[in-house]
Amino acid sequence: MERELTMEFARVTEAAALASARWVGMGQKNEADDAAVEAMRSLFDTVHMDGTVVIGEGEMDEAPMLYIGEKLGTGEKPEVDVAVDPLEGTNLVAKGMPGAIAVLAVTKRYGLLHAPDMYMDKIAVGPKAAGRIHLDAPVAENLENIAKGLNKKIQELTVVILDRPRHSEIIRQVRECGSRIRLITDGDVAPAVACGLEGSGVDVMMGVGGAPEGVLAAAALRCMGGEMQGRLWPENEEDVERARKLGIMDINKLLTLDDLVNTDDIFFAATGITEGPLLKGVIYSSEGATTHTVVMRGKTGTVRFIEAKHCFAKKPKYAIKGAC
């Protein structure tokens, strides 16, 4: 894939963020998600690629756009696989809470795990702690090894965990170690990616969250030299069958970063919708809005932050969709 695609993918996530940001705090998560999906889909039509959605809004009969198997782009080479979450953190936008992002990952064909829509147990760290974690290791052992890699005391680590009853034991063990915890209500892609960025204030993300979101975060961590491990966490036989239909026969397999993303020929892009540890949110002015985007390229390890000012004098459709 050519590096010129970097800015094209940034424009795609910017469009989704601008569209959904109109709904921040409005209590209407479905409307916010619909706006992001429509904006992202329309911008993909302008990208010079032959893309196929492998992680998206659901099956063809469940989603009108960005469904699994949908073709994206102009149809020209390169042939790529696309993973998207136009609005990661629908509840965050609805409630005006921090951490919502619009996000995508693009790799050469067959570069991404086709993760089923189910849960995954995950642990994610940045480059300095790569090679020092294991999903099956005790919490205390992982935190001790991560602290050594970061040249920190274990009490100085910050661990991000989704605030769910299923994580009560993990939370207890982390507190026993003396590490700091940042509990989040939704959206674990942004904090997982933040692990790979020095100065983000996030050292490790652990716990059970969405499997598709795990692949998206793994794409960014691969670009940065970080590490993620995961294991699918089925709730019932339907989840097991869903995984088998996507070619995952061993539901208990420990998934390494290479299993989640098997290539360095990858792009990752995310734009902040509401302020969080990874990105600033959309900020409106009298003339338009400002967006904050991170774009990564796996082949070079380049991480770019883009602050863009959007003028609404000639209001683009995606910028005002759903506006009052």
The DSSP string of 235-289 is SSHHHHHHHHHTT---TTPPB-HHHHB--S-EEEEEEESS--SS----EE-SSEE
Q: Which amino acid is at 85?
A: D
73 contact partners, CB below 8 Å, separation of at least 6: 44, 45, 47, 48, 49, 50, 51, 80
Q: What pTM was computed for the model?
A: 0.94
What are the tokens at 110? 């067959």
SS3 category, 10: helix
Taking the CB of residue 6, how many other CB atoms lie within 10 A of it?
18
Residue-by-residue pLDDT tens, the chain, 324 positions: 677 899 999 999 999 999 999 999 999 999 999 999 999 999 999 999 999 999 999 877 678 899 999 999 999 999 999 999 999 999 999 999 999 999 999 999 999 999 999 999 999 999 999 999 999 999 999 999 999 999 999 999 999 999 999 999 999 999 999 999 999 999 999 999 999 999 999 999 999 999 999 999 999 999 999 999 999 999 999 999 989 988 899 999 999 999 999 999 999 999 999 999 899 999 999 889 999 999 999 999 999 999 999 998 765 555 444 433
Q: What structural domains and CATH numbers belong to the chain?
A: 5-111+265-320 (3.30.540.10), 119-260 (3.40.190.90)
